[in-house]
Amino acid sequence: MKFTEQEIQGVFVIEPQKFGDARGYFMETYRKEIFDRYVGEINFVQDNQSHSTYGVLRGLHYQKGNYSQAKLVRVLNGRVLDVAVDLRKTSPTFGKYVMVELSEENNKQLFIPRGFAHGFLVLSDTATFAYKVDNVYAPDQEATLMYDDPSVGIKWPLAAEKLLLSAKDLNGKYLADADCFE
């Protein structure tokens, strides 16, 4: 299992070892003792899974304050562009983002610490997305950072008219008004 820290400190791309044979393949996708050695102790408490079609953009979401969630995300089927935006006010990379292609082909995972907005854009016909979080769902603490915030400047490869977003995601806040993290 290979861990590569990204240009935003604390964000890691993780690449599991894949064992192929005539039947198919096997890989360990998470082992706490290894993960904690590279990332620091994280106690995941909830697993999530979503399925989306081409052009769906889910995000950019986060839970406010102490309800914030660290996330370990991966793609079971398909291909997505995964994005994490640093919302930690004291961070030298505040307002900056990491964008990583996660797919069933590259088996890459992304670890996103607490204090980030997270989302992804589906680039395959469909995509099944699975992830662990270290804080349970708190719907009344949810917030959305607008995917098209010019002050963040995320370079999505699809034009806005080709995107499919939920009503919630079309009515988020821009960075200047967002509930960021101390």
Ligand X SMILES: Cc1cn([C@H]2C[C@H](O)[C@@H](COP(=O)(O)OP(=O)(O)O[C@H]3O[C@H](C)C(=O)[C@H](O)[C@H]3O)O2)c(=O)[nH]c1=O
Task: List active site positions.
Answer: 61, 131
Q: Among residues 39 and 72, whose Cβ is nearest to ligand X?
A: 72
CB of 121 to ligand X, least distance (A): 10
Q: How far apart are CA 93 and CA 89, in angstroms?
A: 9
CB of 47 to ligand X, least distance (A): 10
Report DSSP letters for 3-15, one per residue. EEE-SSTT-EEEE
| Torsional sign, CA 37, 40, 43, 47 | negative
Q: Among residues 1 and 130, whose Cβ is nearest to ligand X?
A: 130
CB of 58 to ligand X, least distance (A): 4
CB of 137 to ligand X, least distance (A): 3
3 state SS of 172: coil
Q: Which residues of 59-85 are buried (b: 16+ CB within 10 A; e: fewer)?
A: bbbbbbeebbbbbbbbbeebbbbbbbb
85 bridge partner residues? 97, 117
Q: Among residues 166 and 171, whose Cβ is nearest to ligand X?
A: 166
Q: Among residues 59 and 115, whose Cβ is nearest to ligand X?
A: 59
User: Which residue do the tokens 């935003």 mark?
Assistant: 8
Give residues in contact with ligand X (CB under 6 A). 48, 50, 58-59, 61, 118-120, 137, 166
Assess whether the previous peptide bond of 170 is cis (omega < 30° from 0).
Answer: no
